[in-house]
Chain A
Amino acid sequence: MLRLRDVKAYYETPRAIVKAVDGVTLEVRDNEVLGIAGESGCGKSTLLRVLYDSIDPPLKLIAGNVEAEMKNGDGKTISIGPGEIRKHWWRYISYIPQGSMSVLNPVVRIEKQFFDAISKKHQATDKQQVRDRIASYLKELKLPVAVLHSYPHQLSGGMRQRILVALGTFLHPQIVLADEPTTALDVVIQKSILLLLAQLQEQMRNSLVIVSHDIGVHYQIAHRIGIMYNGKLVEIGPTETVFRDPLHPYTQMLIQSLPHVGDHKRREGIRGRPPSLIDPPPGCRFAARCPFVMDLCREKMPSPLEVAPDHFVACYLHRESIQTRKGLG
């Protein structure tokens, strides 16, 4: 399990401070697929870097608390914080990056890259044994064993991405983070990669955090979905509930704006653009584009409220519904 409490992670450059993640509270639970959706520049990749404990300058953890609970070899649960998590990369937590072409070393064969990443974390000292296990694992993922002796450029984009999935899940980590794992791929291959990730999660019963701008992807495989906007998590809840009954105006407009095959209804995009992360407004970040904006929205950022079971939203529109419900109860 991974817990973030009011985390602020900023990029500090000499010219400006970019508040990419600005007060996010989030829990990655055991045995779940958590989807993080949002437009480019909303801080979702930075959030993943915080989760992965890959906080290197200019990115700085300004405030908040990151806590990971992991089971060690004896089955005991120990809890670790930032700076510690990175010691358990690959074994406890792994990361599947976007852009498989620029991630794999172009002049090193795939097998060597597997060894470089894994052998240090792997107890087995027998090289042949590790080699056999890699080969059998690739077979499990329906990859031809011949890819181990190939260079990355000899493989198609879909295969490279499968190799990254294989690499990230080989040691059965308790948490797998995937950053836009299918962005550059075609829909047919995208589907096969997503189904592979979902299937591996079901087998290993671990946590999979998947970041994507495409909310259709989340609908297909995520159990819970979190919507980020301008450095803030504005809504999080079970995927079915969020799609059926989106609470934040941004989520509502985002879902409504997407056309579907078989439906010629006129769609409207969201007007305007998100505010700058360097100098964000004091109130709700979506206020300038929101059709339901109130005075209060511009003054103070609303904090997340549990409106329905496990369904949180940071919006003043839903404060009243809570109060009336409490009054009735």
Chain B
Amino acid sequence: MNDLLLEIREVTKVFRIGSLLFGTELLAVDHVNLSLDKRKPSILSIVGESGSGKTTLAKTILKLHEPTSGDVLLEGRSVFGRHTGEDTLAYYRAVQPIFQNPFETFSARKHIDSYLYDTAVNLKVAKNRKEAKDIIADALSSVGLDINRVAGKYPNQFSGGELQRVSVARGLIPRPKLIVADEPVSMIDASLRTNIVNMFLSLKEKCDVSFIYITHDLSTAYYVSDYVAIMYRGNVVEYGASDHILTDPIHPYTKQLLDSVPTGGKKWERNLKPPDIELQEYQNKACKFANRCPFVQPVCRLHRPPRVQIPGEREVLCFKPVDYRLDQPTLSQQPGAKYQPTGGNNGSLL
């Protein structure tokens, strides 16, 4: 598929906890398939609770982890495997990160603009600092900051929102195609959050950058994203166009998440099933949400749920849409089965 910017293909990541002999294995990311279109920049939100594997997935995309199995492809080329230094450089020019805590991203003892110059020089965007200055000024102005405001300053002279802007500007220096933002607004005050997500929207339009926006906040995810993937215990349980998923959820977990967002709209009904012990859920080979699901059937506890294609750009990992039948002809029913995006011509997902 040549029209994909990024393709995450059956990515699985297993962590070992404890010693070699007595440890247990934790399936942090479990056969995840996601993709981003190359033709038009878009924002894909990965939403999940802490421990759902969303950060592990982000680190895999950023090449900070190697997946246990599966592959990540950038414009059709595998990100892992044998690579020359130039390949790595090209990769980091195309894919840039933004991290969660802007106060930890920058060292308190370094001038904040030194990070910008380092990025420009290390990624060979500029030959020297003089050349870098124009590129940096340009990147800063696209996030609404002036280079003179930043030059020679330390991180404690900025608010969290401004630091996060600098962080985004740093990511923009190599003119990337994709920015992976891991919880970029969770440490920022409510009144400034909207400014940051608005900036993502305008960068998508103006600079042709796609975003993978990782968050636990459904309201900003709905606000910015074109596509949403809901993760639960390493599985993507629902994936598709954000308008469909967040206004008309199919997977019971997505419904529960949406019901739990404290908003100024409807008041909560006052009953809720508290979640079970977590580790058991990770190790569960069948549906991991079964213990908390109000629609659970015996089959959910025994078999891995099928990945069901729903008309209107979405897929759900659940038995409920197929009436709890096991024999549903789905390509990716068995883990390890090769996932094929459902054709390029008939309303394909992404």
Contacts and interface: CB of A to CB of B under 8 A. Distances in A.
A216 interface: yes
Query: Which secondary structure dominates chain B's binding surface?
Result: helix
B22 to A, nearest CB: 16
A215 B161 contact: no
Nearest to A214: B262
A257 to B, nearest CB: 4
B159 A158 contact: no
B226 to A, nearest CB: 12
Contact of B49 (A187, A198, A213, A219): A187
B262 A186 contact: no
Contacts of A271: 195
Given A186-B216, A187-B49, A264-B223, A216 B263 contact: yes
What 8 A-B pairs are tightest by C-beta distance, nearest first? A216-B262, A186-B49, A269-B195, A259-B223, A269-B194, A39-B189, A191-B260, A270-B191
A273 interface: yes
Contacts of B192: 269-270, 273
Nearest to B259: A191
A189 interface: yes
B191 A262 contact: no
Given A219-B264, A258-B219, 10 more contacts: A142-B274, A156-B277, A158-B275, A187-B216, A188-B275, A190-B260, A259-B194, A262-B222, A266-B198, A267-B198
B264 A216 contact: yes
Interface residues of A, number: 43
B190 A258 contact: yes
B291 to A, nearest CB: 13
Interface string B196-221: 11100000000000000000101110
A260 B257 contact: no
Interface in A1-59: 39-40
A40 B260 CA distance: 23
Interface of A: 39-40, 142, 156-158, 162, 186-192, 194-195, 198-199, 213-217, 219-220, 243, 253-255, 257-262, 264, 266-271, 273
B268 interface: yes
Interface in B154-199: 159, 161-162, 189-198
Contacts of A269: 191-196, 198
A255 B232 CA distance: 30
A269 B195 CA distance: 5
Contacts of B265: 260
A224 B314 CA distance: 41
A217 B262 contact: yes
Nearest to A262: B247
Contacts of A270: 191-192
Nearest to A257: B194
A156 B194 CA distance: 31
B256 interface: yes
Nearest to B217: A187
B50 interface: yes
Contacts of B50: 157, 186
B270 A189 contact: no
A187 B217 CA distance: 8
6 contacts: A157-B50, A158-B275, A189-B49, A190-B262, A257-B191, A259-B219
B272 interface: yes
A201 to B, nearest CB: 12
A102 B96 CA distance: 33
A219 B267 CA distance: 8
Contacts of A199: 270
Contacts of A189: 49, 274-275
A219 B219 CA distance: 15
Contacts of B260: 187-188, 190-191
A190 B161 CA distance: 25
Contacts of A268: 194-195, 198
A214 B217 CA distance: 11
A143 to B, nearest CB: 9
B194 A261 contact: no
B256 A188 contact: yes
Residue picked from A186, A188, A192, A266, most chain B C-beta under 10 Å: A188
